[in-house]
Amino acid sequence: MTDDQDGVVVYWRPMCTFCMKLLTQLRFTDLPYRKVNIWRDPEAAAFVRSVADGNETVPTVTVAGHAMVNPSRKELLAAVREHAPHLLV
């Protein structure tokens, strides 16, 4: 998998319908990404709070280190084109 500073990381938690929607949409792309469950990773949860005004709002996604809180598929792919075009096939 790609390094966090060069790739895409999706911070999620179980039973989050917004997370399930985004992850399902990403399955239909060739975009490589890494999933991090914030309920199992306290450092990841702290990171999400740091970029989401103190909340554990998921999905939070980083694209080459640039954080996005609850992005749409379209917003995420636009960020990849801008910050990590090497990930696009």
pLDDT digits (tens, 9 = 90+) for 3-38: 467 899 999 999 999 999 999 999 999 899 999 999
pLDDT for 4 equals 65
Alpha helices (H) in 1-89, listed in sequence order: 17-27, 42-51, 73-83
Percentage of the chain surpassing pLDDT 70? 96
Residue closest to 57 by CA, chosen among 72, 70, 66, 68: 70
The upper half-sphere exposure of residue 82, i.e. CA atoms within 13 Å in the direction of its Cβ, equals 10
Confirm whether 3 is domain-assigned: no
Rounded Cα distance, 47 and 71, in Å: 16
For strand 66-69 and strand 34-37, is the pairing parallel, antiparallel, or unpaired? unpaired
Q: Is-above-0.85 flag for pTM? A: yes
With cut-offs at 50, 70 and 90, classify the pLDDT of residue 89.
confident
Confirm whether 64 is domain-assigned: yes
Domain that holds residue 71: 8-87
**What is the count of structural domains for the chain?**
1
